[in-house]
Chains A and B, each alone.
Chain A
Amino acid sequence: MTTQATEGGPVIRFNEVCKRFGEKVVLDGFSMELARGKTLSIMGPSGVGKSVTLKHAIGLLTADSGSVEVFGREISEVSTPELAEMRKRMGYVFQEGALINWLSVGENVALPLRENTDLEEDELRARVEERLRLVHIPDAWDLMPSEISGGMKKRVGIARALITDPELILYDEPNAGLDPEIARSINALIRELQEGLGVSSLVVEHRIDCIKTVSDEVLFLDGGKALVQAKPEEFFHSNHPRLARFFGKESA
C-alpha cells in the first residue's frame, strides 16, 4: 500500500472518467477530487450517475476510460487481494442499509471483524458495542434487520462501515426514506464522525439540509460531468443556470 506516498494528496481522484451502460452514457469525462479529512457531497438529478460514482470509488464498477485513484492507487490496476486490503480502509453506507438479513444487528456490525481479523470474542464484542453506542443504538445487538426501522438500519449501516476504523466513508443517500427528525440526527452523526475521527467522506445526497450540514464542498453532477464544485454557501448562491433550474429558482 502507498499510504505514505499519498499522505498529502487527495483520497479520491477521478480523472476524465467515462462510463456507459449500453447506449446510455452515465459519466462523460467526469473529474473530481476529495481532499483528506474533508466531506464532499455529490448532488444532481436522479439517474445521473451519483451512485455509479460511488461504486467506481470502491471498485464495484470499472471505468470504460479515464482513471479512478483511491489512496493514490489506480483502482483498476490493483490486484484482487490489494483491492480487498484497500477496502478494509474504506466504509460504504448503502442507501437501504444492505444489512445481511439472517444476522442480528450486532453480528452485522461484527461481520468485517469476524471475517478479516483474529480478534478475541471479548475484544470484538467490546468494539461492536462501542460502535453501536457511537451511533446511539447501544441496546440493538440482538435485534434482527426485519425488526428495526429504516433510520435504525441506516445507523447500523454506519456502525458497520465504521467498525474497521476506515479512513474514507462513502455514503449513498444517507437521508433517503427518513423523516426529518431522524434525518437530522443522521446528518449530525456524519458530521460528528468527520470532526471526531477525521474521516474523509464522499456523500451522495438530494436533500439540501443534509448537504448543508455535512459538506465541506458540494459538487453538482449532470450530463456525466461535474458542472459546479464549491463550498456549500457559494454552491447554494451560485448563478449557474443549471443549478437555478434544479432548485426551481429560474424565474427569480
Chain B
Amino acid sequence: MAEATEIRAEEPAATSPPRDPAILTFLRSEGERIELLLRTLRRLGHTPSRSKLIYEQMFLSGIQTLHVVLLVGLFIGMIVSLQTGIELAKLGQQDQIGTIVAISMAREMGPFITGTILTATVGSAIAAELGTMSVSNELDALEVMSVDRLSLLVLPRLVGLALIAPLLTLVCDTVGIIGGAFVAQAQLNVGYEMYMTSAIDALRPTGFLFNLPKDLYAGLIKAVVFGGMIATVACNEGLKTTGGALGVGRSTRAAVRDSIIGIIVLNYFMTWFMYQA
C-alpha cells in the first residue's frame, strides 16, 4: 500500500496541471458535499439499524461540547445583557433587557454559538478521524469488504449531529438567558422578576409547531441545519483525505473553516426566509 500511496503523493508534482479558477474549485467542492448529503439522505432508511452508532455519536458530541456550551452560552447572555442594558438604561427602557436577551439567544446566538462549538470540537474530530481512516487504508478495507461506507460512517454522524445540535442549542439559550439575568440584577438594577417576565413574554407561544415560540423553533431549525451541514462538510473532507498526516491536517482545517463560513451564510439566508420572505 505504501507503494500506491507514494505514487499518488507524487501525482501533483509530476503532472503540475494548470490550476482551475477559484470559482470552479469552489463549485466542484460544494457539489461534492451536496452529492454526499443526498447520497446519505437516501440511506435514511438504515437509521434503525444504525441507532446504536447514532446514539454513540450524539452522546460523544454532547459530552465533548456540553461544558463549552454552558460556559460560552452563559457569558454570551451576560455580554448581550450588559451591552444592551447600558444603552437601554440611557433611554429608561431597562425593563426590556429580558426581551432582547431572550430573542437574541433564541433566534441567533444560541444556534450560532452551538454550531461554532460543534464545528470546533466535533466537526474537526470527524474530519480527522475519517481522514486518518482514509490514509491508513481503512476506507479501502471497507470498500473491498463491500461495506457501505456512507451508511456505516456518514449516516450516524449526520443524523447524530442534526439531533444533538438543537438539544445543545436549547441548553445554550437557557443558560444565556440565565446569565443575562445575573447581569441585569447585579449591574443594571433590573430585578429577576421583571427580567424573566419580559423574557418569557418575548417567547410567546404561537399556536404553531407544538405551540412553540417562533423565535425558539426558528433557532432550533437553524441548529438542525447547522448540525447536518457540519457533519456533511467534515465527513466529505475526511473521506477524500490523501497525503498522510499532512493531508489529515489539511482536511481538518478545511472542515472547520468551511463549516464556520457555512454557518454564517446559511444563517443569513434562513433568517431572511423565516422572518422576511
Total CB contacts across the A-B interface at under 8 A:
89
Binds B, one of A98-106, A193-201, A236-244: A98-106
Cβ–Cβ contact A92 & B152, under 8 A:
no
Taking a contact as CB atoms closer than 8 A, the residue among A21, A52, A85, A94 that contacts B137 in the complex is A94
Cβ–Cβ contact A98 & B136, under 8 A:
yes
Cβ–Cβ contact B146 & A22, under 8 A:
no
For the complex, give the distance between the alpha carbons of A50 and B1 in Å: 9
For the complex, give the distance between the alpha carbons of A61 and B11 in Å: 15
Cβ–Cβ contact A112 & B145, under 8 A:
yes
Residue A87 is within 8 A (CB to CB) of chain B in the complex: yes
**Contact-size category for B:** 20 to 34
Residue B7 is within 8 A (CB to CB) of chain A in the complex: yes
Q: Which residue of B lies closest to A160 (CB)?
A: B145
Residue B20 is within 8 A (CB to CB) of chain A in the complex: no
List residues of chain B with CB within 8 A of the CB of A47: 3, 6-7
Taking a contact as CB atoms closer than 8 A, the residue among B4, B11, B15 that contacts A51 in the complex is B4
List residues of chain B with CB within 8 A of the CB of A24: 7, 10, 14
Residue A190 is within 8 A (CB to CB) of chain B in the complex: no
Interface mask (A92-119 → B, CB under 8 Å = 1, otherwise 0): 1011101111000000000110011000
For the complex, give the distance between the alpha carbons of A61 and B145 in Å: 15
For the complex, give the distance between the alpha carbons of A85 and B144 in Å: 10
Cβ–Cβ contact A116 & B3, under 8 A:
no
| A99 and B11 contact, Cβ closer than 8 Å, known pairs A51-B1, A60-B143, A115-B146 | no
Residue A23 is within 8 A (CB to CB) of chain B in the complex: yes
| A115 and B147 contact, Cβ closer than 8 Å, known pairs A23-B15, A24-B14, A96-B1 | yes
Interface mask (B137-155 → A, CB under 8 Å = 1, otherwise 0): 1101111111110001000
Q: Which residue of B lies closest to A44 (CB)?
A: B3
Taking a contact as CB atoms closer than 8 A, the residue among A22, A51, A100 that contacts B14 in the complex is A22
Highest count of chain A CB atoms <10 Å: which of B140, B142, B144, B152: B144
Shortest A74–chain B CB gap in Å is 18
List residues of chain A with CB within 8 A of the CB of B8: 21
Cβ–Cβ contact B152 & A172, under 8 A:
no
Residue B2 is within 8 A (CB to CB) of chain A in the complex: yes
Residue A188 is within 8 A (CB to CB) of chain B in the complex: no
Residue A55 is within 8 A (CB to CB) of chain B in the complex: yes
| A115 and B144 contact, Cβ closer than 8 Å, known pairs A26-B7, A51-B3, A51-B4 | no
Q: Which residue of A lies closest to B15 (CB)?
A: A22
| A100 and B141 contact, Cβ closer than 8 Å, known pairs A22-B10, A22-B15, A115-B147 | yes
Interface mask (B7-27 → A, CB under 8 Å = 1, otherwise 0): 110111111000000000000
For the complex, give the distance between the alpha carbons of A239 and B78 in Å: 84
Highest count of chain A CB atoms <10 Å: which of B4, B8, B13, B143: B4
For the complex, give the distance between the alpha carbons of A61 and B5 in Å: 13
A-B contact pairs, 23 of them (CB 8 A): A21-B7, A21-B11, A22-B10, A22-B11, A47-B6, A50-B3, A60-B140, A60-B144, A87-B144, A94-B1, A94-B140, A95-B1, A96-B1, A98-B141, A100-B133, A101-B132, A112-B147, A115-B145, A115-B147, A115-B148, A115-B152, A116-B145, A116-B147
Contacts A24-B7, A47-B7 supplied; 8 other A-B pairs, CB < 8 Å: A22-B10, A46-B3, A47-B3, A51-B1, A60-B143, A88-B146, A92-B144, A101-B138
Across the A-B interface, give the 9 residue pairs with the lowest CB-CB distance, nearest first: A22-B14, A22-B15, A98-B141, A98-B137, A84-B146, A92-B144, A112-B145, A51-B3, A23-B14
